[in-house]
Structure 1
Amino acid sequence: MTLVDLPGTSPAARPAQRDPLGAALLDDAPAHDDLGTGAPTPRPSGPRTPASRAAAPRTPAARTAPTLRHERTLLRSGAVLVAGMDEVGRGALAGPVSVGVVVVDARTRACPPGVTDSKLLSPAARSALVPALRRWGIARAVGHASSDEIDAIGIIAALRLAGSRALRVVAQQVGPVDAVVLDGSHNWLTPPAQGALFEADPEEHADAVARRAAADEEIEALGFAPRVRMMVKADRTCASVAAASVLAKCERDETMTTLAREHPLYGWESNKGYGSSDHVAALRLHGPSPLHRVSWRLPLDECTAGG
């Protein structure tokens, strides 16, 4: 079974007024009685009691919400359309690898409250954000590369293929993207500078060679090559990347839940194809399904792997 890229939702309506590139103003008045006049705050008289200490408990600092600061830097440098991009499913044993893309421009306002790296959110919190994220930004999409494609071309090339599919969908909605903010430190989106994208092995099966050639052609057919800015933890600091991570995670999770009904032995409805203990136990007992990444070193018993 080969999963193909799923069309993103229709682009959100553009706001009537242009959003300034500066950061939004926050209504954060100082929490002091003197309001910055320099007058000391009176110290309460009498001995400190447990009750007075309990009245002002220490609270952890709130997590900083992702902003559009990095995206707006790219917009000021000449980009018209900036996309945040993030992947999910890279380390799974089964199912697709998925890449989310969310496009913003100079008129895009702050992202919906609660958006952050999808790994920091519960499944319910992620799902609750999806309706708002489908209206935020000017375009969004999730691209996929199947387990068969991962086996044929490798995980890095499969990430590139899934990312290209997502970029093609948003380009059909709003035009080619000028710049991409990519989470992490490795630029897997930009094709190799020299030679073919996927070098053919003369001893490789003809079907695998054909799959590599088809993936090569599909990536080249994108027709544009956005500049890529790498940023570690971008899914926690860049609003467009955080939004892309949530959309990709929700869509892939939904896909794995659906596939679990066709392959009920592996618990994909809960482990989403990752190597949880129940998934590994099922692999050792039943062997791999057609949706497992068989080119990987799956945790199989010798008798299962051999037959």
Structure 2
Amino acid sequence: MSETTTTERAPSVYVPSAEALATVLAPGARPRRPSALGASLTFGWRALLKIKHVPEQLFDVTAFPIIMVLMFTYLFGGALADSPRDYLQFFLPGIMVTSVVMITMYTGIGLNTDIEKGIFDRFRTLPVWRPAALVGMIFGDVLRYILAALVILGVGLALGFRPDGGVAGVAAGIGLLVVFSFAFSWVWTFFGLILRSEKSVMGVSMMVLFPLTFLSNVFVEPSTMPGWLQAFVKVNPVTQLVASVRAVMAGESDPSATMWLLAWSVGFVLVFGTLTMYKYNRR
């Protein structure tokens, strides 16, 4: 009986050369790294796309301002002025500031939500300027600020508000408001990084925003307040913002309030922008 011996060949393993891998994996030149501004604008576009896909996010910049204008004009207008229309001339720039400053807190809430979902962990691995995701988010929120201001202005014009400063005065007022809101948003980005949940961010935001907006010159002149309260109102950054916006919309100017407004804005960016970047890079 003969035995047949079968010899199996070991499978050959193909090991590509470095030149072959380079041809497949990198057929062209490596793309240039995007600039800091370009990356920030891209993330800003992402924020706008989120609004497109979830339009309910615009509720706070449309319905909320309309409710505020109607409620305060007809609820307090007759008691604080000769008529609701007369009170509207004084009140509308202030409620515009209040509404826009209040919605700045959603910057911190949105940031905290993205962090909890792990989205920002992915952003941090991208070969782009690291703060671009934060700066882009705030760029996207600027549109929300402008939209809220325009909604309030439109309602005010329909109710009888007539700015003596004309189109230029209104544009200047909205510009000052956007500058301050952009700077103030850095406060909430910092809180969005250090607090554990979006509910915590909202709670802290309300604790800060309510005293700042209501203990100001939004609703009444500070001269009608007790002396100890006037001391706080005069140094309140919202008071300086309202005074500046109210002046330019009336075709006048308030250099002192505008100077303090810009000083507060620079201070918010320097202090809370630096703290935000430090915390974000080490999170």
Q: TM-score, normalised by structure 1?
A: 0.22
Q: Select the structure that is richer in helix.
A: 2
Larger-gyration structure (1/2): 2
Q: Which has the higher contact order (CA 8 A, sep 6+)?
A: 1
* Greater strand share, structure number: 1
